[in-house]
Copies of this chain bind each other. A is one copy, B any other.
Amino acid sequence: MRLSIQSDAYFMQQALQEAQTAAERGEIPVGAVVTVNGRIIARGHNLTETLTDVTAHAEMQLITAAANQLGSKYLPECTLYVTLEPCPMCAGALYWSQIGRIVIGARDEKRGFTTIVQPLLHPKTEVHWGVLEAECSALLVAFFKKLRQQKG
């Protein structure tokens, strides 16, 4: 039974706050939270620039953090809220984690996992699309617009 005292929009708003923090640090603004039974157990954002590490996507960090919190490699009771569609790396990691549910904000039509026709997620993982999609997308659009202006 999934006891959710807060809505998907509430948790996506928390993920958006993480994305906003990423933007302020010069990171591509993608944020995420992981919940169990309607409580956040891990939160974070993209840190690829800060850590000089292409694997430091929000999702990757949160899979590790959630497993640490729960003392289990597998996350069937968890929901991941993420502001941008995961890439194939993150989808592959989510597959191994057997995560129960993924809630996604904006689509990534260029590098999102659904650009791969074959399924990358675990068959037991539920996916829910488009929560606060406009807000999640607007943050990314504004970030890249500013970046282009800075580069001249």
Contacts and interface: CB of A to CB of B under 8 A. Distances in A.
Interface of A: 48-49, 52-55, 60, 63-64, 67-68, 71-74, 87-93, 95-97, 115-118, 120
Contact of A73 (B52, B73, B87, B95): B52
For chain A, what secondary structure do more than half of its interface residues adopt (helix, strand, loop), or is it mixed?
A: helix
A89 to B, nearest CB: 3
B67 A60 contact: no
Nearest to A61: B55
Contacts of A60: 55
A95 B54 CA distance: 9
Contacts of A91: 88-89, 92
